Amino acid sequence: LPVQYKDEVGLLMANINYVARCLEEHLQNTSQNAAFDHLTGVYNRRASENRLRDSIELSRIRQTALSFAILDLDNFKGMNDTYGHDYGDTVLRYVGELLRQNVRRSDWVGRWGGDEFVIAIHGNENEAMAMVSRICEIVRRESILAPDQSFQRLSISVGVCEWNE
């Protein structure tokens, strides 16, 4: 709305513009929050399903390779049962951050289930395997401090496949 008027109408228009901008920002934040898993910071299941469809369509259009990796944390239920859900949340946050930091900008990560993650990799199965191998190597090297002050090593089971029409 035009705000050049210096009377009550101009002030009203300026206020309406302000409210409209605030609502737009709120809608954008809500949309973004609805797409991401609050704990891990990666796409949630619903957003992952949408990204999956988009990635497949883009791969079809561009006629490029598209691969997927499914990662499952081994013995996650046991960690939750032994050390509590706060520790389980710590582990999930760690894995989410690890995955986000080790995928390319063109790829994406989603939390598929409780302790399952999916990575869409714009590339062939060999490229996907190389990426997943690097991630597995990091997981093998590092450990996470548990509530009893012990260091716990994580292990993950991984499957990789190349999408094919």
The H or E element spanning position 144 is strand 143-145
Tokens of 59: 């791969």
**Which of 21, 40, 38, 155 minimizes the C-alpha distance to 95?**
40
For residue 43, give the amino acid letter.
Answer: Y
Phi, psi (deg, nearest 5) at residue 10: -65, -40
List 7, 86, 107, 115, catalytic entry: 115
Is 115 in the active site?
yes
60: CB partners within 8 A, 6+ apart? 165
**What distance in Å separates the CA atoms of residue 94 and residue 32, rounded to the nearest whole number?**
21
Residues involved in catalysis:
115
